[in-house]
Amino acid sequence: MAPTSASPEFDKVGYWSPNTASIDWRKNNYVVTPYIAEFWNAISSFAIVAVAVAGYFLLPNSCLRRFSVLIQSYAVLGIGSVLFHGTLRHKMQLLDELPMLYSATIIYFICIETKFGKVGQWFPFALTA
């Protein structure tokens, strides 16, 4: 039986082959270019970087430092996502997934302090742990 577009045998060998990531969305890899594994996912991740950079420069000076840190974490998330979807390497997957956890933790911190006020200096360390 000939390989179809839905079968893993359809994947082309690219510059970053073989894939070492623990997850592959079973999309056709290296279809557009042999240098980017999941072309459209990688390209669309640039939007995350663009929004984060725009948000960083449009953030008022009076805005709290924690929002600046949140926007910076989104920029790192976008860059990691571009690298992961471009290479499908395990180390790049960590650059994609870990900033998601860090961003969620920062959002949780912002929500808690907004609702209850300053909790204490121990709170960021407790969240990190």
* Binding site residue list for Zn(2+): 85
Binding site per annotation, positions for Ca(2+): 24-25, 29, 38
- Count CB atoms within 10 A of the CB of residue 123: 14
Instruction: Tell me how far apart the terminal alpha carbons of the chain are, to the nearest angstrom.
Output: 52
Please provide residue 115's backbone torsions phi and psi, each rounded to the nearest 5 degrees. -80, -45
**Alpha helices for 3-89 (secondary structure H):** 39-58, 65-87
Positions at the binding site: 24-25, 29, 38, 85
In 3D, which of 47, 44, 48, 42 has the Cα closest to residue 30?
42
Three-state DSSP at 97 gives: helix
